[in-house]
């Protein structure tokens, strides 16, 4: 895993800035063919093993579950591209779910005010993680663990052991497999995920922020020599990671009707798995479309495993094996590129 102190191996400034120039111009548009083949294979396998696997309602249900995972992995993708990990994802999911349920169901806040408050809190607190990691050159894994613990503790104090309120009814419709979008029989949560995927894909590929993020993830010192505002990139990436987790929390509150202190726990491991299996690697390799495919792949795989009777423990083992296989593929690919 890379850290904020990573740098190129040479002390030659010309070599460092040349490397950044390559990162800014080379692009990260490789199609994740292996993942697409695996996804197609799993869909065929699921259709042959599980009755009704390809029915429209089943497909929409899987897409909604995948959208939760994909959105949780959105910010994680940005952090991984920088060479870090965000361990505070579950904490922001729970915080957002609790705020949504409590402020609406107990205190009667209008949802726009709740959404604005959640956005503000997640951006500020997430940005603190990025700022501290960058300024003090501390591993983001450690900083986000601490920040996530503080957020979880603050949530527990605020709830005070009482049962949280209920989420807005329209959120339940928003994440329902039978929900509609402008009259079309497509769940709004799926539409939101696709729109955000297109937006993040465009930002990473075609904007100054995206190029700066790849440059910073490749080598933070070299990026600074190329006048990239690395601190701003770190703060923005971690703010967006917290915000994407908060979006998942609000959607999960609608999905379950309320909030639960453990509802964010599965998304720490699963969001990272979606990023890695999708083909995004630590330090400026990959993009969100890889994660998008990874989230679909994991959701289809999980559905098949549940359908044929595998336990959650069995699924965790299989996910771990999958990560090892993909990481081994990364290593082989790097070795081949070094020899070319």
Each residue's pLDDT tens digit, 185-194 = 899 999 999 9
Neighbours of 323 (CB within 10 A): 15
**pLDDT at site 201:** 92
> Taking 50 as the threshold, does the pLDDT of residue 284 lie above it?
yes
| Average pLDDT of the segment spanning 304-319 | 88
State the pLDDT confidence band at 20, using cuts at 50, 70 and 90.
very low
User: For residues 127 and 23, which has the higher predicted lDDT (pLDDT)?
Assistant: 127
Q: What's the pLDDT tens digit per position in 41-69?
A: 999 999 999 999 999 999 999 999 999 99
Alpha-carbon span 248 to 69, nearest angstrom: 8
Q: Flag the least confident range among 13-22, 247-256, 303-312.
A: 13-22
Q: Looking at residue 320, what is its pLDDT?
A: 84
Is residue 194 within 8 Å of 131, Cβ to Cβ? no
Angle at 24 between CA 21 and CA 29, to 5 degrees: 135
Task: Identify the pLDDT of residue 3.
Answer: 45
In this structure, of 7-21, 67-81, 141-155, 204-218, the range with the lowest mean pLDDT score is 7-21
Across the range 76-82, mean pLDDT stands at 95
CA distance 304 to 292: 19
Q: Is the pLDDT of residue 319 over 90?
A: no
The stretch 325-329 carries a mean pLDDT of 73
Does residue 314 register a pLDDT over 90?
A: no
Average pLDDT for the chain: 87
- Indicate whether this model's pTM tops 0.75: yes
| Confidence category of residue 2, pLDDT binned at 50, 70, 90 | very low
Give the C-alpha separation, 172 to 316, whole Å. Answer: 28
* First vs last C-alpha separation in the chain: 24
Between 282 and 128, whose confidence is greater?
128
pLDDT at 139 over 50: yes
């Amino acid at each position: 895993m890379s850290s904020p102190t990573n740098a190129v191996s040479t002390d030659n400034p010309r070599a460092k800035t040349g490397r950044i120039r390559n990162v800014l111009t080379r692009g990260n548009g490789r199609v994740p063919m292996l993942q697409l083949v695996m996804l197609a294979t799993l869909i065929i396998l699921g259709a042959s093993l599980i009755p009704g696997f390809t029915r429209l309602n089943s497909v929409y249900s899987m897409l909604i579950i995948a959208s939760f995972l994909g959105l949780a992995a959105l910010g994680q993708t940005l952090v991984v591209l920088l060479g870090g990990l965000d361990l505070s994802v579950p904490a922001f999911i729970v915080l957002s779910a609790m705020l949504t349920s409590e402020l609406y169901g107990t205190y009667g806040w209008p949802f726009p005010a709740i959404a604005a408050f959640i956005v503000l809190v997640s951006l500020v607190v997430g940005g603190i993680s990025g700022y501290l990691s960058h300024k003090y050159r501390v591993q983001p894994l450690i900083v986000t663990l601490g920040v996530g613990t503080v957020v979880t503790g603050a949530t527990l104090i605020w709830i005070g052991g009482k049962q949280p309120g209920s989420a807005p009814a329209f959120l339940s419709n928003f994440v329902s497999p039978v929900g509609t979008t402008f009259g079309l029989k497509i769940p709004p949560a799926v539409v939101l995920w696709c729109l955000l995927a297109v937006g993040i894909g465009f930002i990473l590929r075609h904007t100054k922020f995206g190029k700066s993020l790849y440059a910073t993830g490749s080598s933070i010192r070299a990026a600074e020599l190329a006048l990239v505002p690395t601190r701003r990139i770190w703060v923005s990436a971690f703010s967006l990671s917290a915000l994407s987790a908060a979006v998942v929390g609000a959607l999960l509150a609608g999905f379950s009707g309320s909030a639960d202190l453990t509802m964010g726990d599965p998304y720490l491991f699963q969001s990272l798995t979606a990023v890695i299996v999708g083909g995004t690697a630590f330090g400026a390799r990959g993009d969100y479309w890889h994660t998008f495919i990874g989230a679909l792949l994991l959701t289809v795989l999980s559905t098949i495993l549940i359908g044929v009777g595998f336990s959650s423990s069995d699924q965790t083992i299989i996910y771990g094996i999958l990560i090892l296989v993909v990481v081994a593929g990364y290593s082989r690919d790097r070795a081949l590129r070094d020899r070319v």
